[in-house]
């Protein structure tokens, strides 16, 4: 299913203990794994949060899919990225993680049904599927100068229990975007096999070069759920608002929304204040996006510049997102490298096995830290692993 090596939860224990000890001792650390924009020196405009205290927060009028005003704002934001959708097809959630859980409940029966997930990718899926009693099977992303979907691995892992395929574009941590041909091939397989496709687009607003690509490739042939949220699109993880845009053939969409309404009505997890504020927060998020785009592009360029003279380090190509992958010589194991960087250099990085990279050695760094801190940390990493 996932890597046949020792489970990452056990491998991470030594690193987690060392990190906990370093922090308890008050060591000054350079965190190159930071993914929280509220702790990365991003400046939040004055007055941005004022709509959260509007007079309407004193009233409670529950709606299974969320307030219409907020859903209108989300639909309009999709049009900004070139994807036309209707507020009637928008479902609000408290987070992207909750969106996955709702969709697993919608699409899968526990203790039997399965979903296909990409690897390498963020380990969230392993935990979310387990919590909902759903099996996860991994299909592969390969790298040969760019990341691409191994469609043979998709077909190999597909069986009669498969109810959905997860596609993450841009991927975390590889930063790879799926091409229109790849999305089409995955959607065609889902349509032919009566399965749904879940497309996680949370990092779509952060291209490392050029402008964001269009999200609109026409109506997909299969039932499709696109995931987004304030956490990434507006750098507002503390406000807990995500969403699902439902797409595909009209009859499948209508049936899915009818069943999803019951699930959402059972939880009603999205708070009134954030829904009332959603139009203003989504609009105000543009200034925050601009800051984050400048930050990740600057750090990505710095990473390339600093690593250019390192014979044993490659920065793998990334299209978008907040992370970068370093392929380094496997003189020691990834866990030993990350422990040495922590204990000797005071630098925190992720090992590749955390994301199910199929072999060693890879190190993953966040592009979100403040630029001076990032450059200092990267220099330490390169000095440690190159040579």
Mean pLDDT of 143-147: 96
> Sheet containing 224-229: which strands, arranged edge to edge?
90-93, 242-247, 224-229, 196-200, 162-168, 114-119, 135-143, 147-149
Is residue 3 pLDDT above 50, yes or no?
A: no
Q: How confident is the model at residue 144 (pLDDT cuts 50, 70, 90)?
A: very high
Residue entry with tokens 């979907």 = 149
Report how far residue 299's alpha carbon sits from residue 208's, in angstroms, rounded to the nearest whole number: 10
Structural domains in the chain, CATH included, are 8-43+286-385 (3.90.1150.10), 50-285 (3.40.640.10)
pTM above 0.85, yes or no: yes
Mean pLDDT of 54-61: 90
Mean pLDDT of 231-241: 97
Mean pLDDT of 264-293: 96
Q: How confident is the model at residue 21 (pLDDT cuts 50, 70, 90)?
A: confident
Is residue 147 pLDDT above 90, yes or no?
A: yes
In the chain, % of residues over pLDDT 90: 83
Please tell me the predicted confidence (pLDDT) of residue 12: 54
Please tell me the predicted confidence (pLDDT) of residue 13: 66
Average pLDDT of the chain to the nearest whole number: 93
Is residue 10 pLDDT above 70, yes or no?
A: no
Mean pLDDT of 131-141: 97
Q: Which of 215, 327, 235 is nearest to 286 (CA)?
A: 235
């Amino acid at each position: 299913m996932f890597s046949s090596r020792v489970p990452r939860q056990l491998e991470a224990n030594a690193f987690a203990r060392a990190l906990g000890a370093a922090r308890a001792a008050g060591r000054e650390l350079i965190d190159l794994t930071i993914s929280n924009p509220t702790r990365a020196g991003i400046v939040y405009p004055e007055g941005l949060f004022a709509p959260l205290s509007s007079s309407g927060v004193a009233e409670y009028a529950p709606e299974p899919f969320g307030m219409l005003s907020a859903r209108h704002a989300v639909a309009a934001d999709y049009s900004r990225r070139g994807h036309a959708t209707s507020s009637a097809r928008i479902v609000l959630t408290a987070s992207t993680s909750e969106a996955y859980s709702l969709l697993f409940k919608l699409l899968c029966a526990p203790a039997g049904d399965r979903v296909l997930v990409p690897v390498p990718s963020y380990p969230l899926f392993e935990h979310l599927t387990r919590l909902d009693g759903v099996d996860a099977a991994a299909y592969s992303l390969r790298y040969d100068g760019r990341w691409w979907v191994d469609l043979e691995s998709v077909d190999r892992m597909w069986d009669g229990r498969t109810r959905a395929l997860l596609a993450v574009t841009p991927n975390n941590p590889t930063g790879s975007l799926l091409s229109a041909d790849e999305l089409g091939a995955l959607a065609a397989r889902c349509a032919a096999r009566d399965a749904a496709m879940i497309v996680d687009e949370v990092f779509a607003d952060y291209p490392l070069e050029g402008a964001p690509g269009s999200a609109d490739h026409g109506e997909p042939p299969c039932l499709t759920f696109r995931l987004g949220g304030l956490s990434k699109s507006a750098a507002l993880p503390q406000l807990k608002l995500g969403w699902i845009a439902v797409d595909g053939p009209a009859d499948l969409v209508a049936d899915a929304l009818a069943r999803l309404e019951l699930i959402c009505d059972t939880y009603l997890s999205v708070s009134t204040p954030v829904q009332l504020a959603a139009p203003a927060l989504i609009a105000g998020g543009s200034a925050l996006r601009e800051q984050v785009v400048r930050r990740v592009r600057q750090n990505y360029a710095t990473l390339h510049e600093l690593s250019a003279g390192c014979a044993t380090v490659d920065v793998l190509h990334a299209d978008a997102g907040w992370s970068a992958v370093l392929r380094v010589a496997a003189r020691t194991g990834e866990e030993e490298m990350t422990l040495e960087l922590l204990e000797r250099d005071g630098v925190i990085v992720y090992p590749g096995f955390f994301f199910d990279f199929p072999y060693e050695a890879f190190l993953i760094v966040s592009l979100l830290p403040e630029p001076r801190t990032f450059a200092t940390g990267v220099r330490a990493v390169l000095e440690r692993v190159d040579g």
